[in-house]
Amino acid sequence: MSRPLREVVFVDGVRTPFGKAGPTGIYAETRADDLVVRCIRELLRRNPSLPPERVDEVAVAATTQIGDQGLTLGRTAALLAGLPRSVPGFAIDRMCAGAMTAVTTTASGIAFGAYDVAIAGGVEHMGHHPMGEGVDPNPRFVSERIVEGSALVMGSTAENLHDRFPHLTKERADAFAVASQQKYAAAVAAGHIGPELVPVATRSAAAGWGLATVDEPPRPGTTLEALATLRTPFRPHGHVTAGNAAGLNDGATGCLLAAEEVAAELGLTPGMRLVGFGFAGVEPEVMGVGPIPSTEKALARTGLTIDDIGLFELNEAFAVQVLAFLDHFGIADDDERVNPWGGAIAVGHPLASSGVRLMTQLSQAFAQRPDVRYGLTAMCIGIGMGGTVIWENPNWDGAGA
């Protein structure tokens, strides 16, 4: 029996404000699963024409699946959010690309016809669960030289990238980081960043109750001169600093996906249409190059070229890995198509949640850019991988790529 695939649309995306991990961060005394619950509830509130019982699946990613971000998070968050008990859910892990994989997995189910509507997202509370907490890597990884020891330390893999591509200097990485901070600040001032944020009630035993409404990590006054003085914690006289890399952060994201005809039936307005995606493996020691082959794979499978892409949302885990991507595809560091509203160096990178932040930002940009037909979200992934998802703008007016 032949079964035609259905078009899949990204209807809406939301996220909590991102916080700084640690005892003084805004979410220090807030549970990780409650951050996810806020996102799910906000998606339902913003899309009142969607009957909750029409949600067929909830997929929520976390890199460290223990404590308050464990226990089959998609299912437990769905119950806590008030979805009907008939709505199933599951947890997923692909490190930094967890939410991205939650999207591609549920979207594939929608295309195949297994689901009509799904919620996908991710959370990382790095203040409660530092990356790698409770992990016991198999000693054979190093003893049998399957990977070098540096492959298990993400900052060291970024230093390895600087070694492999010496023209990607610290000065160039710092300049990219300053631009990220500046673009983010300009986007907030213009109102581009903010509509997707879900206010979160916070508590502190010392300070009482509060309300998180804005991102905590950005440093809008960042200068090249200040970045030049920062220490390089992963290597003496190295290149990677706290200024040209994403920080340690807490936050959650969520998005609503649907078959295109089901969205029309339910009165849901598509923000993007899924074109295709690709994941690829690379040497774990230089995991930052991962988005290069994953993008090449996604482009080849969709019949597109890099010149067809009018907007790029690239996760800025480290400035050097974005620069490696741009150099490979012949794109200038300051190309206005790339992260036009800033990126993770400014806003933060709560690991498994970030993929949906990229998608939400691209969807919002699409609404303002009917001249752009195709956009791309991509990120590097720990242990040597990359992920890329290509989207089409339903608002495209035929005027440009």
Which CATH number characterizes residue 285's domain?
Answer: 3.40.47.10
Catalytic residue from among 39, 96, 192, 255: 96
Count of domains for the chain = 1
pLDDT bin (cut points 50, 70, 90) of residue 26 is: very high
Residue 193 within any structural domain of the chain: no
Residue 312 within any structural domain of the chain: yes
Tell me the mean pLDDT in the region 171-199: 98
Residue 377 within any structural domain of the chain: yes
Active site residue 380: yes
Task: Report if pTM > 0.85.
Answer: yes
Summarised one tens digit per residue, pLDDT across range 123-144 is 999 999 998 888 898 999 889 9
Residue 103 within any structural domain of the chain: yes
Residue 164 within any structural domain of the chain: no
pLDDT at 401 over 70: no
Percent of the chain with pLDDT over 70: 99
Tell me the mean pLDDT in the region 328-348: 98
Residue 212 within any structural domain of the chain: no
Residue 172 Cα distances to 6, 242, 287, 314, 318, angstroms? 43, 15, 20, 17, 12
Residue 237 within any structural domain of the chain: no
What pLDDT does residue 354 have? 98
Structural domain for 60, as ranges: 8-128+247-390
Question: Which position has the higher pLDDT, 239 or 133?
Answer: 239
Residue 191 within any structural domain of the chain: no
pLDDT at 298 over 80: yes
User: What contacts 216, CB < 8 A, 6 or more positions away?
Assistant: 17, 18, 19, 20, 25, 26, 348
pLDDT at 32 over 70: yes
Active site residue 255: no
